[in-house]
A and B are shown apart, each in its own frame.
Chain A
Amino acid sequence: MAIHVKNLNYYYGDFPALKNITFSVTTGDFFIIIGPNGSGKTTLLKVMAGILKSQADQLEILNRPVDHYSRKALARTIAFVPQMIPVDFPFSVTEIVLMGRSPYLGMLGLEEEKDLKIAKQALAFTGVEHLAHRKLDQLSGGEQQRVFVAKAICQEPEIILLDEPTASLDLAHQVRLMDLMEKLKNERGITVVMVSHDVNLAAMYGDRLLLLNKGEIVEMGDPKEVLTFQTLEQVYGCTLLVDENPLGKTPRVTPVPRKFMNIDRQEE
């Protein structure tokens, strides 16, 4: 088991953001957490990343309670790719990716030749080695996202957590990023856990999905089990068309605008 969450409650002040959450992520899975705005997806991801503190017995990473890990040991196990990465200072791409080695190095993070090699491999894996000497703030959103994935790979983790990595990307970059995460899972056996708004990307790439609503688990399982129109309409509170993607035979979700409401959906 890569991650095991047990009876997790999380409060922001008095507001319960997560209520009695229990689930497991199998090692080597592409695991995607979906749900409407404010459902607690990102909070859940941040608890798993160790950014938000859970109670002692509520979170196990690789079958060990999270508080048995030192800060650096946890950083060697889990890498986190946040949604918004502020870049106020002009680091080069290589410098950013090399920072991924910090959990393996001393206080000053003095990298050796070996670390540079790992960084170069990570850049090649994510297809941005040609950007190695560019400054981060000169890159497009899609390129920056790949650099931070390369940094995460350079951290040599067992698990990578990503917070809505496709949110600000165009269609081509969305698919490229998702393909990259799938390649990471297949070639390196890394467990990928992602929060996503995009139900259709989740349907196409996810091995298992977790549907959250108002801080509670609504459904968990493979995409066909989770993405039914009864469940989704109830959770999202709007009319949806759920049919099958002709290519991958995965569920396909289309929101239905008001002007299409009179067309009979059963005719599909």
Chain B
Amino acid sequence: MNTKTPLLLKRLSVISLSLLLVLLIAMFLGISMGSTTSGIKVVFQSLFKAKESDPMLDTIIWQIRFPRVLLATLVGAALSLGGLVFQALLRNPLAEPYILGISGGSAIGAIIGILIGLSRFPGVSLMAFAGSIAILLLILVMSSGQTILKKDALLLSGVMVNAFCAAVIMFLVSMTQDSRLHNIIFWLMGDLSMVDMGHVGILAAILCPCFILIFWFSNSMNLLLMGKEMAQTMGVNIKAVTVILLVTTSFMVSATVSYCGLVGFVGLVVPHLLRLVFGPDHRVLVPACVLGGGAYLVFCDVLARVLPKQGEMPAGVITAMIGAPLFIFLLKKTRR
């Protein structure tokens, strides 16, 4: 073996390829499953442009399911990565955008944007970003100073921030006598159904550079886990790395919130699962979170579509039902 080859390369490619396979399987499931159940063979025919494919099914697959699956992939990837970054930077394995209240802050911003009639992009997205940054600053102010980021303090503040955000959201929703009310409430619970390919394209264009940027700083995150002082004496520009990562992550999260509302706990479940399997090296975990997180949310969305007897439920319902019990389990485990 060539001694110049980075040791990580082989491991990284094996892991990425296997998770990519999982993601492709999930996407195929996502495209096949739905209210009009169709045989896998028929879906194959439509996917690969076989001659006698049903035009009706074609429309369902390409206009409805395909964008939805892509959206779930992007959102799952972004939220998983968000959890991973927050866990590393706050040195707290329970940190997650939804639990900390970052998602809630984005939601307030997004709702204000919707209510004053802004377009989804860039208006609502920018409002959501402003909301998430406001909450981020609040968290940083609360956790700075003498009481540095104790696990429990951070979680308590998150609970309060979330309670406050929920109250503000209900306040805003109650103040309007709007026909859009039902939509807002459904959207709030993490609804993946209201997109077309144009939206997915914009979201991909926003998120993919963020993924690359975070991967670029993945080794800095490893070093930061050994403490700020140690990282600093190993050549990491702590302030720059922290600011870039926190702002990028908040930006990603707010972008997902403005497209599909609050999908909770994805950033908790996916990084924990992947860390358990692949270890704590962020150079592996960042790409793994993108692929694995995408697959996870696509699976959850399939459940959300298949389980209800009629209609469907928001994917956020499923992620919360899986994530919240895991959170309680982890909280119990990390307390000593």
- Residues of chain B whose beta carbon lies under 8 Å from any beta carbon of chain A: 1, 3-9, 91-93, 215-220, 222-223, 225-227, 229-230, 232-237, 275, 279-281, 283
Contact = CB atoms under 8 A, between A and B. Distances in A.
A99 B222 contact: yes
Contacts of A96: 226
Contacts of B5: 112-113
B233 A49 contact: yes
A95 to B, nearest CB: 7
Contacts of A89: 93, 225, 275, 280
B148 to A, nearest CB: 11
Given A110-B8, A112-B7, A113-B7, A71 B91 contact: no
Given A99-B223, A108-B216, A71 B235 contact: yes
A96 B217 CA distance: 17
Given A88-B93, A88-B225, A107-B216, A50 B230 contact: no
A113 B3 contact: yes
What band does the interface of chain A fall in when counting residues whose beta carbon is under 8 Å from B?
35 or more
A76 B222 CA distance: 18
Contacts of A188: none
Given A50-B232, A110-B8, 4 more contacts: A51-B232, A74-B233, A82-B227, A92-B279
A50 B6 CA distance: 30
Given A102-B223, A110-B8, A88 B91 contact: yes
A116 interface: yes
Nearest to A111: B7
B6 A110 contact: yes
A109 B283 contact: yes
A258 interface: no
Interface in A35-75: 46, 49-51, 70-72, 74-75
A155 B237 CA distance: 17
A257 interface: no
A91 B233 contact: no
A208 to B, nearest CB: 23
Contacts of B93: 88-89
Contact of B3 (A79, A114, A155): A114
Name, among A72, A82, A92, the residue most crowded by chain B CB atoms within 10 Å (CB to CB): A82
Nearest to B219: A109
A85 interface: yes
B280 A74 contact: no
B230 A108 contact: no
Given A88-B93, A89-B225, A103 B235 contact: yes
A51 B220 CA distance: 16
A205 interface: no
Nearest to B237: A71
A51 B3 contact: no
A75 B233 contact: yes
30 contacts: A49-B233, A51-B229, A51-B233, A71-B235, A75-B233, A75-B234, A78-B233, A80-B233, A82-B227, A84-B227, A86-B91, A88-B91, A91-B225, A95-B280, A95-B281, A99-B223, A99-B234, A103-B234, A108-B215, A108-B216, A109-B219, A109-B222, A109-B283, A110-B6, A111-B6, A111-B7, A112-B3, A112-B5, A112-B6, A115-B7
A88 B216 CA distance: 23
Interface in A212-247: none
A65 B223 CA distance: 26
A223 to B, nearest CB: 28
Contacts of A127: none
A75 B227 CA distance: 15
A90 interface: yes
A122 to B, nearest CB: 15
A116 B219 contact: no
A99 B213 CA distance: 21
Nearest to B3: A113
A112 B217 CA distance: 19
Contacts of A71: 235-237
A189 B92 CA distance: 39
A91 B235 CA distance: 20
A168 B77 CA distance: 42
A74 B219 CA distance: 18
Contacts of B230: 80, 82, 85
Q: Please list the 7 inter-chain residue pairs (A to B) with the smallest Cβ-Cβ separation, ordered nearest first.
A: A110-B6, A75-B235, A109-B219, A80-B233, A113-B3, A72-B235, A89-B280
A91 B217 CA distance: 18
B233 A79 contact: yes
Contacts of B225: 88-89, 91
B6 to A, nearest CB: 4
A107 B219 contact: yes
A102 to B, nearest CB: 5
B9 A110 contact: yes
Name, among A91, A108, A110, A115, the residue most crowded by chain B CB atoms within 10 Å (CB to CB): A108
Nearest to A163: B229
A61 B6 CA distance: 32
